Amino acid sequence: MIVGKLGRPRGVHGEIYVTPETDFPERFVGLKEIYVRDRQRWEKFNIVSGQLISGRPVIRFKAIATSQEAARLTNRLLAVPKSQTVALPRGTHFIFDLIGCRVMEEGSNRLIGYVTEVERYPANDVYVIDTTSGKEVRCPVVKHFVKKVDVKKQEITVVTTGWLEDQEA
């Protein structure tokens, strides 16, 4: 599960900022190991220290001792095994669990399409859906439109009135 992206180096001892892709940036404090994407493969790195500076995670890897070495890791993705994911509050879901879900219309049970992406905005998230007609549409993730999310069945039930007809025109 992707949890962040490495940013710019901090200081001269190999520390590097993390841009979290998680609602839990504190997860990087006390973390002992993490996977870093190197081209097409993942490599496990041991972490010497992790802290939050102004709310942003900063980590230092055992194998990295200078800011130049840390700079070579900038923009690489970070991941942890699914077994190490944070327990989510009820009614919330991991983005990776939503990708690929069928989107069904409430009442008619008509297949609208499949979630291909979740865009994150300050007010609310938005599901990007590839429709059965081949168009891409966006559904605001608010209670008014999203009625049920069942990640085990890979199915999301939505009300289409108020968003879908505006995009199909």
Span 129-168, pLDDT tens digits:
999 999 999 999 999 999 999 999 999 999 998 888 767 6
**What ranges do the domains of the chain cover?**
2-83, 95-168
Just give the CATH number of 2-83: 2.40.30.60
pLDDT at 139: 95
Distance separating alpha carbons of residues 84 and 81, to the nearest angstrom? 5
Distance separating alpha carbons of residues 4 and 6, to the nearest angstrom? 7
pLDDT tens digits, one per residue of 4-44: 899 999 999 999 999 998 878 888 998 899 999 988 899 99
- The closest of 25, 46, 23, 22 to 34, measured between CA atoms, is 46
The DSSP call for residue 23 is S
The domain 95-168 is classified under which CATH number: 2.30.30.240, 3.30.420.40, 1.10.10.10, 3.30.720.120?
A: 2.30.30.240
Report pTM. 0.64
pLDDT at 103: 97
- The closest of 146, 109, 111, 108 to 127, measured between CA atoms, is 146
DSSP-derived secondary structure for 97-155: HHTT-EEEETTT--EEEEEEEEE--SS--EEEEEETTS-EEEEE-STTTEEEEETTTTE
